[in-house]
Chains A and B, each alone.
Chain A
Amino acid sequence: MITIFGIPLQAFLGQLLLGLVNGSFYAILSLGLAVIFGLLNVINFAHGALYMFGAFLAWMGLSYFDLNYWVMLAIAPLIVGVFGIFIERCLLKHLYKLDHLYGLLLTFGITLLMEGLFRSFYGVSGQPYSTPEALRGATNLGFMVLPNYRAWVVVASVVVCLLTWFVIERTRLGALLRAGTENPRLVEAFGVNVPLMVTLTYGFGVALAGFAGVLAAPILQISPLMGSNLIVVVFAVVVIGGMGSILGAIVTGLGLGVIEGLTKVFWPEASSTVVFIIMAIVLLLRPAGLFGKEK
């Protein structure tokens, strides 16, 4: 039998794939953060809470209104997005002239509020959500039996990530967004409604978090804490990829998922720390991140 670093090739491939599944979540969440940071210069700490909100919406849809997974996969990100727009219009807007730290503190406060609210209603043990009918079962890939749902997660998030990248980097709308980041006054002078663009971008960024939340619902127990468990890692991913870099967020998200997955095999105790070790190394060698540009 072929072995890699002492473990059979089959097991190795299996672990790579599982890493990719987790990496998909990192990618889609860090993408949202990167988009928001790129245009708004806001470090959106509420991202984890909005991800949790998305997952809870999926659960609420099913248990209170009998709306299935597919419906909620479309509706939940919209609701989260609208909620995001509300946050941006009512609260964040007033902080743009101030230091980054204020935005971070505000969104951190929103996180605490949301988590506390859900905790007091639902406790921390979480709500169960079963896999949608069409994606139940598992496929034997030869080297491992992969639950169909996990395969769907990878496909869905890669498609969403690539679409986002395409819109921002390759379309006229994206060009305006990027120009707005560089010089909002000049873009406004061309007749573009920059504040509206900013609001919609924030809405879109957090909608991505809501989308990831619905994707995660059948895999994880839906608990008020699910976001805060993840968000710190996602921030590390954004820092490693380079703040504000779209492609950087996607590639490092997937890559770190894989690295973390392999760490779970070779040194399981360190699997929750490995991302931060990499972050420290990257910051020492390339302070702007792997894909970031030095300013």
Chain B
Amino acid sequence: MKLRTLSASLMLAGFGLVSHSALANISDDVIRIGFITDMASVYSDIDGPGGIEAARMAIADAGGEINGKKIELIFADHQNKADVAAAKAREWFDQQKIDMLMGGTNSGVNLALAGIAAEKKKVFMAVGAAASDLTGAQCSPYTAHWAYDTVALARGTGSAIVKAGGKSWYFLTADYAFGHALERDTANVVKAAGGEIKGQVRAPLNSSDFSSFLLQAQSSKAQILGLANAGGDTINSIKAANEFGIGKTMKLAGLLIFINDIHSLGLNVTQGMQFTDGWYWDQNDETRAWSAKFEAKVKRKPSMVQAGDYSAVSNYLKAVKATGTDDSDTVMKWLKSNKVNDMFAKNGYLREDGRMVHDMFLMEVKKPSESKGPWDYYKQLAVLPGEEVFTTLAESTCKLIKK
């Protein structure tokens, strides 16, 4: 090994003038991507094995190798525990020599991973996590926050509902980093638009019965019940709200809704709900074609997060290919100076703070009569320009932004 390195450097020295990118080659002769996500628990339908498959599709579409160097994907289950994820990430960086770390769902986990990646100076792509803190107070030069965040969800759904007259809000919040961020960002939007926050109740992640929390929400007499939770928690809260007739006195606002949630609950219960999404399989020919390929493998339509996984991996690989290296600084520099144009985002761009800015969409759940069958669930109400829904650089609390 040493001899090889030595001879390689001698060879390079022999060439005399070599550009920086050629000098920093593909380390260990392999491009290794480590993907940590929830493989079996509450968020595993949104990302999980489907997300891994999406990443594999991106690698296959890139040809499986770059300049003769193999692209490898390893993955692990974080069980929604930040400490499990952190230990795995350290092991991967130190022993497996991964070049890029991907964070699936769970903001708590992703905030921990971002810190480790920054310490190891390796590219970290957060896809499934929502907390805007990833590019705000806890931003890092190595983080790329790809698919969506709590600010975009809040501005998309929050302002649409306040505009429609929903002035007083109560939050049912998942009690961890993500829920807190979503509640905070939505509350800011509501207050800025002249609305009022009547209160909030914070339910532990994975609660099975939400009826108690819902009755507390109802007694607040607020017009809008903001669901600052996700996945199974959202499903069970909507189900219980339906059972207790909460919808008669307050309107439910799902702040983070995935297509899997709608599929699971059915249109009867969810019709008419408005929410913000970053991507939908039935938007154009490109999204439909990719989704058909995905469905053939995974047996269901992809969620926004799974499409984001594909996009993140392909853009990373594009960067490696264009620069000829997996050196983190070089790759990040390339990603931050080239537009993202694929089936996930059009004219998206990765900003200095790590935010991938792209258009989001205000969606409404179809009535059962409007839906042609399984997975035909959304009507697009509006395009929310990325510049408007994500945190602007002027508002950013990221320390990398020079003001």
The answer to whether B207 touches A271, judged by C-beta atoms less than 8 angstroms apart, is yes
What chain B residues lie within 8 Å of A195 (beta carbons)? none
- In the bound assembly, the distance between CA atoms of A116 and B244 in angstroms comes to 32
Known: A145-B245, A221-B232. A229 touches B208 (CB 8 A): yes
* Residue A147 at the chain B interface, CB threshold 8 Å: yes
The answer to whether B212 touches A269, judged by C-beta atoms less than 8 angstroms apart, is no
Residues of A27-76 whose CB lies within 8 A of B: none
- Contact mask for chain B residues 20-42; partner A; CB cutoff 8 A; 1 contact, 0 none: 00000000000000000000111
Cβ contact of B203, chosen from A123, A125, A145, A268, cutoff 8 A: A268
* Residue B235 at the chain A interface, CB threshold 8 Å: yes
* Residue B290 at the chain A interface, CB threshold 8 Å: no
* Residue B202 at the chain A interface, CB threshold 8 Å: yes
The answer to whether B215 touches A11, judged by C-beta atoms less than 8 angstroms apart, is yes
Please choose the segment from A14-22, A101-109, A182-190 that sits at the chain B interface, where 4 or more of its residues have CB less than 8 A away.
A14-22
Known: A138-B244, A220-B208. A225 touches B269 (CB 8 A): no
The answer to whether A229 touches B206, judged by C-beta atoms less than 8 angstroms apart, is yes
* Residue A261 at the chain B interface, CB threshold 8 Å: yes
The answer to whether A223 touches B232, judged by C-beta atoms less than 8 angstroms apart, is yes
What chain B residues lie within 8 Å of A229 (beta carbons)? 206, 208
* Residue A230 at the chain B interface, CB threshold 8 Å: yes
Expressed in whole angstroms, the minimum distance between the Cβ of B156 and any Cβ of chain A is: 22
The answer to whether B266 touches A225, judged by C-beta atoms less than 8 angstroms apart, is no
* Residue B300 at the chain A interface, CB threshold 8 Å: yes
Residues of B200-218 whose CB lies within 8 A of A: 201-204, 206-209, 211-213, 215-216
* Residue B97 at the chain A interface, CB threshold 8 Å: no
The answer to whether A125 touches B261, judged by C-beta atoms less than 8 angstroms apart, is yes
The answer to whether A15 touches B215, judged by C-beta atoms less than 8 angstroms apart, is yes
The answer to whether B235 touches A265, judged by C-beta atoms less than 8 angstroms apart, is no
Look across to chain A and name the residue whose beta carbon is closest to the beta carbon of B200. Answer: A268
- In the bound assembly, the distance between CA atoms of A226 and B208 in angstroms comes to 8
Look across to chain B and name the residue whose beta carbon is closest to the beta carbon of A273. Answer: B204
Residues of A182-221 whose CB lies within 8 A of B: 219-221
The answer to whether A261 touches B260, judged by C-beta atoms less than 8 angstroms apart, is no
* Residue A283 at the chain B interface, CB threshold 8 Å: no
Name 17 A/B residue pairs within 8 A (Cβ), A-sorted.
A11-B215, A14-B215, A22-B209, A127-B264, A219-B209, A219-B239, A220-B236, A221-B239, A225-B41, A225-B42, A229-B206, A264-B216, A265-B212, A268-B202, A269-B175, A269-B204, A272-B207
Expressed in whole angstroms, the minimum distance between the Cβ of A147 and any Cβ of chain B is: 5
- In the bound assembly, the distance between CA atoms of A74 and B263 in angstroms comes to 29
* Residue A128 at the chain B interface, CB threshold 8 Å: yes
The answer to whether A144 touches B215, judged by C-beta atoms less than 8 angstroms apart, is yes
Cβ contact of A128, chosen from B40, B206, B269, cutoff 8 A: B269
- In the bound assembly, the distance between CA atoms of A279 and B368 in angstroms comes to 47
- In the bound assembly, the distance between CA atoms of A149 and B240 in angstroms comes to 12
* Residue A126 at the chain B interface, CB threshold 8 Å: yes
The answer to whether A138 touches B245, judged by C-beta atoms less than 8 angstroms apart, is yes
- In the bound assembly, the distance between CA atoms of A14 and B217 in angstroms comes to 13
The answer to whether A271 touches B204, judged by C-beta atoms less than 8 angstroms apart, is yes
- In the bound assembly, the distance between CA atoms of A231 and B211 in angstroms comes to 20
Expressed in whole angstroms, the minimum distance between the Cβ of A27 and any Cβ of chain B is: 15
The answer to whether B201 touches A268, judged by C-beta atoms less than 8 angstroms apart, is yes
* Residue A131 at the chain B interface, CB threshold 8 Å: yes
Cβ contact of A265, chosen from B40, B216, B264, B269, cutoff 8 A: B216
* Residue B67 at the chain A interface, CB threshold 8 Å: no
* Residue B44 at the chain A interface, CB threshold 8 Å: yes
* Residue B119 at the chain A interface, CB threshold 8 Å: no
Expressed in whole angstroms, the minimum distance between the Cβ of A172 and any Cβ of chain B is: 39
Chain A interface residue count, CB cutoff 8 Å, equals: 40
- In the bound assembly, the distance between CA atoms of A66 and B42 in angstroms comes to 29
Look across to chain A and name the residue whose beta carbon is closest to the beta carbon of B176. Answer: A269
Look across to chain A and name the residue whose beta carbon is closest to the beta carbon of B240. Answer: A219
Q: Which 8 A-B pairs have the closest CB atoms?
A: A125-B264, A272-B204, A264-B212, A125-B45, A123-B45, A125-B260, A221-B235, A268-B201
- In the bound assembly, the distance between CA atoms of A264 and B44 in angstroms comes to 27
The answer to whether B243 touches A149, judged by C-beta atoms less than 8 angstroms apart, is yes
* Residue A79 at the chain B interface, CB threshold 8 Å: no
Look across to chain A and name the residue whose beta carbon is closest to the beta carbon of B211. Answer: A18
Residues of B209-239 whose CB lies within 8 A of A: 209, 211-213, 215-216, 219, 231-232, 235-236, 239
Cβ contact of B212, chosen from A15, A115, A272, cutoff 8 A: A15
- In the bound assembly, the distance between CA atoms of A277 and B77 in angstroms comes to 28
- Contact mask for chain A residues 147-168; partner B; CB cutoff 8 A; 1 contact, 0 none: 1011000000000000000000
What chain B residues lie within 8 Å of A128 (beta carbons)? 239, 264-266, 269
What chain B residues lie within 8 Å of A138 (beta carbons)? 244-245
- In the bound assembly, the distance between CA atoms of A243 and B209 in angstroms comes to 26
Residues of A246-267 whose CB lies within 8 A of B: 261, 264-265
Residues of A86-144 whose CB lies within 8 A of B: 115-116, 119, 123-128, 131, 138, 144
The answer to whether A131 touches B243, judged by C-beta atoms less than 8 angstroms apart, is yes
Look across to chain A and name the residue whose beta carbon is closest to the beta carbon of B219. Answer: A11
What chain B residues lie within 8 Å of A273 (beta carbons)? 204
The answer to whether B235 touches A125, judged by C-beta atoms less than 8 angstroms apart, is yes
What chain B residues lie within 8 Å of A19 (beta carbons)? 212
- Contact mask for chain B residues 280-315; partner A; CB cutoff 8 A; 1 contact, 0 none: 000000000000000000001000000000000000
Expressed in whole angstroms, the minimum distance between the Cβ of A130 and any Cβ of chain B is: 9
- In the bound assembly, the distance between CA atoms of A138 and B244 in angstroms comes to 8
The answer to whether A125 touches B215, judged by C-beta atoms less than 8 angstroms apart, is no
The answer to whether B232 touches A124, judged by C-beta atoms less than 8 angstroms apart, is yes
Expressed in whole angstroms, the minimum distance between the Cβ of B268 and any Cβ of chain A is: 9
Cβ contact of A123, chosen from B202, B213, B216, B260, cutoff 8 A: B260
Cβ contact of B44, chosen from A124, A127, A144, A219, cutoff 8 A: A124
- Apart from A128-B269, A221-B232, A225-B232, what are 7 other A-B pairs with CB-CB below 8 Å? A15-B215, A144-B215, A221-B235, A225-B41, A268-B175, A269-B175, A269-B204
Expressed in whole angstroms, the minimum distance between the Cβ of A264 and any Cβ of chain B is: 4
The answer to whether B264 touches A261, judged by C-beta atoms less than 8 angstroms apart, is no
